[in-house]
Each structure stands twice: as structure tokens, then as C-alpha cells.
Amino acid sequence: MQRLPSHIAIIMDGNGRWAKEKGEDRLYGHLHGVESVRNIVEGAAELGIKYLTLYAFSTENWNRPKLEIDALMHLLVQTITKETPKLMQNNIRLATIGNTDSLPPKVASNLKKCIDKTANNTRMTLVLALSYSSRWEITN
């Protein structure tokens, strides 16, 4: 346990391809990705990881079809709304990195509510990387 890192970062990639391999549409993969994220967050908190960063939506993802982007943004709002009580119960703080100003207003508003509500939680910080890129990180 003493050799565990204090920060783990995961690049969330391949949900759409996984779904296609199963003969499903890409959103099916993203929906199952939410289940995986829930398990990872709970497991990391139980192990005592202090920071978990999930690279969830890069600036390149804005090039996907509008229907998929809209579905992903809806899924993000739905998940944040549903999981905020669980974050509170587990003493997990939510934070974001990336160009969150580029997110749709409804997404940004829901993120802010959850970030504000969980601001004083101390067990673990869950960082969502949204609309991120290395270029954006360097310049900002």
C-alpha cells in the first residue's frame, strides 16, 4: 500500500471502437464507459489514491459528428447529476482541467454546481479533463 501512487491519470479511449466491434453504435460504448468510470473512481478512493485524472474529451473530439458530441454532452450532464450525491457520500471532490469555456452552457453549469458542492471534500480529487489539448495547456 505504501508504494501506491498519489495520482493516477487515465486516458479514456476506445469505448466507441469497442461498441462497434460488438455490432453496436458508438454511444453504447460510451454508456458502458460510465460504468467503468464509476468502478474506477470507487476503487481508487478505497485504495487511498488522492488524485484521479480522467482524460475524457479532447479538443480533437469536437471533430466528431454533431449527434455523437451532443450525446456525449448529454451523457456528461446526466452522469454528473446522478453521481454528485455519491461523490458527496464518498467525500470526493470534483475538479476540471482544459478549456471548459468551450463546453455548452448546460454542461458548464452542471459541472460548476457539482464542483461547488464537492469543493470541501477531502478523501480524493477527481479531475475531469474536458476540451483539453497539449497546445491549450501550454498557452494557458
Residues designated as active site: 13, 61
The alpha helices in the chain, defined as continuous H runs, are 15-21, 26-47, 66-89, 105-118, 134-139
Q: What is the DSSP letter of 1?
A: -
Closest by CA position to 5, among listed 53, 65, 63: 53
> What is the separation, in whole angstroms, between the first and last Cα of the chain?
36
